[in-house]
Structure 1
Amino acid sequence: MIMFNSAMDIFYILLFMIPCSMLRYYPFLDKLRIPLRNVVTIYGVFITLEAGVFAYIMNNGSINGIEIQIYRISWGIIFAVYSFIVIKEKFLKQFFFYLIVASYSSVIFGTANFLEAHIFEAFSEKHPYTITNAAAIIQIAFTFPIMFKLIIKRFKKFADSVETDIWKVIWLIPCMFYGMGFIFTVDLRTAESWKHIVTRYMLGTGSFTACYILLKTLKQLADNAALKERFRFIDQQLQMQVKQYRALTENIEQTRKARHDLRHHLLLVKRYLQENRKSELFEYLEEQRQTLPVNVEENVCENTAVNVLACYYIGLAKEKGINTDFKISISRDAGILDSDLSIIFGNCIENALEACERMKTGDRFIRVRAGMKMGELVIIVGNSFDGHAILNNGEYRSIKRNGDRGIGISSIQAVVKKYGGESNFEKSDGNLFKVSMVLKTKEEKIAL
C-alpha cells in the first residue's frame, strides 16, 4: 500500500506539471536561450526532486494541507522563474501565456480534487491522489488537444500580431481571473463544496473567453492598420503615375513643338555659318539649349510599381538636395505582389528621406540596392541620418510618433514575414542607417 500511495504521489506531480509545461514552452521553442535538450534535462532534475520529496513527506512525515500548499507553491515559483529565464521573450508576453496555462491547470485539478473530496472521500483517505489522478487523466485526454490548438493556432497567432506595448496591459485580464480563483479556492477544505468547482470553471472559462476576444480584436485592429497602410501606398502610387504621365505628356508635346521648329532653327544656323557670325551662333545655341524640356526621370527598373515609386522619390530627393544612388533589378513578374513591393520600397525610402531631411549638417544620401539572388529577393536601403534613433527592447521606434512603434516598420516586417523572409534594421557607429531584407518569391516558396 505504501509503494502504491508513493507511486500515486509521484504520478500526481508528473501529471500536474508535464502537460502544462508542454503548453508553457511549446509556443516559445524558437526563442530558448539554451538548447532544448539542456532545458529538458534541467527541468527533469527539478521535477524528479519535487516528486521524490513530495512522496517522502506524504508517506513518512506529518504534514497538513496548508503545508502541502506551501510546498507546492514554492516549487511552482521555482518552475516559473526557470521558464522565464530560459525563454527569450518579453516578460509580460510570457506572463500572459503562463497565466492562461495556470488557469487551465486550476480548472482540471480543481475538478479532480472536488471529485476526490466530495464523492470518493473514504477511498481517498486510504489512497490519496488516486482519484485525483484518474479524474485528471480523463479530463486531460479530452481537453489537452483543444487547449494545445487554442494556444498554438489562436493565442500565439494573435499575440504575434499585437504590438509590444499592449502587453503592459492585457496580462492583467488573465491575472485578475486567476487571482480571484486562487483566493476563493486556495483552501482545499472548500473542495467539498460545489461552489469550489463552479467557481473554478466560471473563472477559467471567463479568462479564456476574455483573452480570446481581446487578442482577436487587437489582431483585427492590426490587420486594419496594415490594410489602411496598403491602401495609402496604392493611392500614392496612382498619384505618382498620374504625375509621371503628365510630365511625359508635356515632354512629348514640347518635343513635337521643338521638332516643328527644328527646320527654322537649322536655316538660321546655316545663315550664321555662311556669314561667319560664330559668336552670335554660340549665343543662339545656348539660348535654345536652355529652352529644351527637362528629361523625364529614366527608368530605374523593369517593375512598374517599384519604378514609379523610385522615380518619384528620386525627384523629391533632388528637390531637397539629397544625393541618390539607386540600383534596382526587379522584373515585371518578380513573384511578389506589386502592392507588397510598394509597401516595402515606399516605407523604406520615405523613412530614409525623412531621416535625411532631419540632418542639419553632413552629406545627405540615400542608397538602394535590390535584386534576385539564388531565387530570393534581396533589398538593402541605406541612408544618412543625424545619429539620433530610438531603440526599445531591441526594436527601433518611430521618432515622429514619439517613440511608439512605427506603422511603416510594422508594415515592412509584416510583408517580409508573409513571404517567409527576414528583415534587419541597424545603424553604424557613424551616420548610416541600413534596412536589409530577404524575401522568398512565389517560385522559391513552391520549390521549398
Structure 2
Amino acid sequence: MIPLYRIIEICVYSLLNFLPFMALALYPFRSRLRFSVKITVCIIVVISFIQMGLGLWAAFFSGGKAALASVVSTAVYVVFYFIAVKVNFGKALFTLLMISNTANFVVAVSKCIEGKIFPELAVQSYRWSFSLIMLVVLAVVWIPLFIYTKKVYTPAVEKEPTGIEWRYLWLIPATFYLIWYYMLYNNNGKSSLETALDAGNAVFLLFINVGAGIVYYVIAMLINEQEKNIRLSDNNHRLAMQNLQYENLQEKIADARRAKHDVRHHISLMQEYVRNKQYGELEKYLNSYQQSLPDDTLISFCENKTVNAVMLYFAQVAKNEDIDYDVKAVIPENISVDETDLSVLFGNLIENATDACREESGDNRRIVIRAMTDEYTLCLGIDNTFTGTLKKDLSGVLFSSKHKGFGVGVESVKSIAEKYGGTYCAEVKDEMFMSSVLLNLRT
C-alpha cells in the first residue's frame, strides 16, 4: 500500500510545478479568456487533479515510463492554454514558451540545491525536500517575474498594434527551450537526474535564463515604445483632421458674414426691379444670387466627434483629388470603443481607399462608406474603385501598395477587430475593393 505521506508529497510537487506557472501564463490575457473566470478556474482544478494523477502514476505505476507522464502533462497544459485564451497564436506561444523555460529552470535549480542540502533525498522522486526548496526558489523567481509580467509584458501584449511581429518573436523562447532540452537529454550519457544535480549545469542554466530574461524585457520594451510612437503619430493625425474641420467651419462662417454684409445691396436692387416691374430680370437675379450663396452642405457625417473628424478630413482630401465621396454613417457620440481605436480603424481604411483611388485612372473614382451601430455591434463597410490585383502571402496577409512588405495599416485594423472580438475581411468584386469590419461592443 502506498504511504499517505508519499501521496501528499507527490501531490504538493505536482501543484507547485503547475499552478504558479499557469497563473503567470494566463495573467497577461485575463481579459481575453474564452470562458468565464468561474469556468476557467473549474477547468484548472480538473487539470490539477490530472497533474497529480500523472505524478502518482509516474512514481508508482509507470514501470520505467515516467517520461510518458511528463509528455502527457505538457500536452494537457498546452492544449488547455491555447483553448483558454483568445489571442494571436504567436503571442500565446511566446508566452507559453517563456513561462515554460522559467518553470524548467526552477525545477533544475531546486533539484541541484536539494542535492547539496539533502543528498540522500535528492536521488528519490518528488520528496518533501524537493517541494520545500522549490517553494523557496519559486518565491525568489516568481515575484520579480510577476512584476515584469504585470508592468512590462502585459502592456506589450495588450497594446501592440499589428500582431505581425509575434509571428516570429516566439522563435526566441523556442531557441532557449531547445537549449534546455539539449542539455537535459544530450549530456554525455548522463541521466536527467545527474544533469540536474550537477552544479555547473545549474550555473549555466542560470546565465541562460538571465540572458533570456533580458531579451524578453528588451522585446517588451521595444513593442511598448513602438506602440507609443504609433499613438503619437495617430494623435498628430487626429489633430490635423480636427484643424481641417476647424478651418472649414471658419470658412463657412466667413462666407455667411459676407452674405449678411451684402444682403442690403441685394434687397435694394430687387426693390428696384419690383418698382420697374422687371419681373423677368428679378427672377434671373434671384437665380444668380442663389447660386452665389455659401455652400450649406452639412459639415457633420455622424454624431461621434472622432469618426466625424476622420471623415471630414478625407472628404476634403477626396474633393481635392476629384474622388466621389459617399458617406452614410449612424454612430452615436458615446460608444464603447476607445477613441484612438476608432481613429485608427476609420483612418487606416479610408486612407487606404483614398490611396487606391489615386492609383486609378478615369473619372469613375469613388469611395463609399457605410457605418452603423446597434446595442451590440459596430458595422463598417468601406468600398473603393479598384481594378488591380490583391497581393497576399501564404497566410492571407495583404501586402502594402505603398512599400515592399506587409500592410501594417490593415494589420492594425485586424488587431483592433480582434481586440473587440470582431472580424475584418476584404474582397474585390465588380471593380470595387470592399473592406468590412464588425466590432463586438459587449466584450
TM-score range, shorter chain: 0.7 to 0.9
CA shift, 1:120, in A, is 2.0
Alpha-carbon distance in structure 2 between the residues aligned to 1:216 and 1:367: 37
Distance 1:211 1:105, change over 3 A: same
Does 12-21 or 340-349 show the bigger shift? 340-349
CA shift, 1:114, in A, is 0.9
Does 394-403 or 156-165 show the bigger shift? 394-403
Aligned match of 1:16: 17
Alignment partner for residue 47 of structure 2, among 40, 43, 46?
43
Alignment partner for residue 227 of structure 1, among 232, 236, 244?
232
* Number of residues of Structure 1 aligned to a counterpart in Structure 2: 421
Q: For the aligned residues, what is the CA RMSD?
A: 4.7
CA shift, 1:411, in A, is 7.6
CA contact (8 A) 1:234 1:339 kept: no
Alignment partner for residue 119 of structure 2, among 112, 118, 121?
121
Residue type matched to 2:183 in 1?
A: F
Distance 1:266 1:351, change over 3 A: farther
Distance 1:103 1:369, change over 3 A: closer
Aligned match of 1:295: 295
1:344-398 deviation digits (Å, cap 9, x = unpaired): 6545554555567778899956345568x78x9x865433345987889798886
SS at match of 2:17: helix
Structure 1: stretches of 5+ with no match in the other structure: 441-448
CA contact (8 A) 1:177 1:206 kept: no
Does 237-246 or 132-141 show the bigger shift? 237-246
CA contact (8 A) 1:380 1:437 kept: yes
Is 1:322 paired with 2:324?
yes
CA contact (8 A) 2:10 2:52 kept: no
CA shift, 1:72, in A, is 5.6
Where in structure 2 are the equivalents of 1:41-440 lying within 5 Å?
A: 43-44=47-48, 46-57=50-61, 63=64, 70-71=67-68, 73-75=70-72, 77-79=74-76, 81-83=78-80, 86-87=83-84, 88-125=86-123, 129-162=127-160, 163-186=162-185, 187-246=192-251, 248-250=253-255, 252-253=257-258, 256-257=261-262, 259-268=264-273, 270-271=275-276, 273=278, 278=280, 286=287, 288-289=288-289, 292-300=292-300, 309-314=310-315, 316-317=317-318, 320=322, 322=324, 324-326=326-328, 346-347=347-348, 349-351=350-352, 353=354, 364=366, 366-367=368-369, 380-385=379-384, 404-407=406-409, 410=412, 425-426=424-425, 433-435=435-437, 437=439
TM-score relative to the length of structure 2:
0.73
Residue type matched to 1:264 in 2?
A: L
Aligned match of 1:443: none
Residue type matched to 1:138 in 2?
A: V
Higher gyration radius (CA)? 1
SS at match of 1:147: helix
CA contact (8 A) 2:417 2:437 kept: no
SS at match of 1:324: strand
Residue type matched to 1:56 in 2?
A: F
CA shift, 1:211, in A, is 0.2
1:382-436 deviation digits (Å, cap 9, x = unpaired): 333459878897988866567735447738976997xxx7765456997664445
TM-score relative to the length of structure 1:
0.72
CA contact (8 A) 2:111 2:196 kept: yes
Alpha-carbon distance in structure 2 between the residues aligned to 1:267 and 1:202: 97
CA contact (8 A) 1:10 1:54 kept: no
Residue type matched to 2:16 in 1?
A: L
SS at match of 1:164: coil
CA shift, 1:136, in A, is 0.9
CA shift, 1:311, in A, is 4.4
1:123-162 deviation digits (Å, cap 9, x = unpaired): 4457863321221122234543443443355323212323
Aligned match of 2:188: none
Alpha-carbon distance in structure 2 between the residues aligned to 1:128 and 1:336: 50
Residue type matched to 1:178 in 2?
A: Y
CA contact (8 A) 1:422 1:438 kept: yes
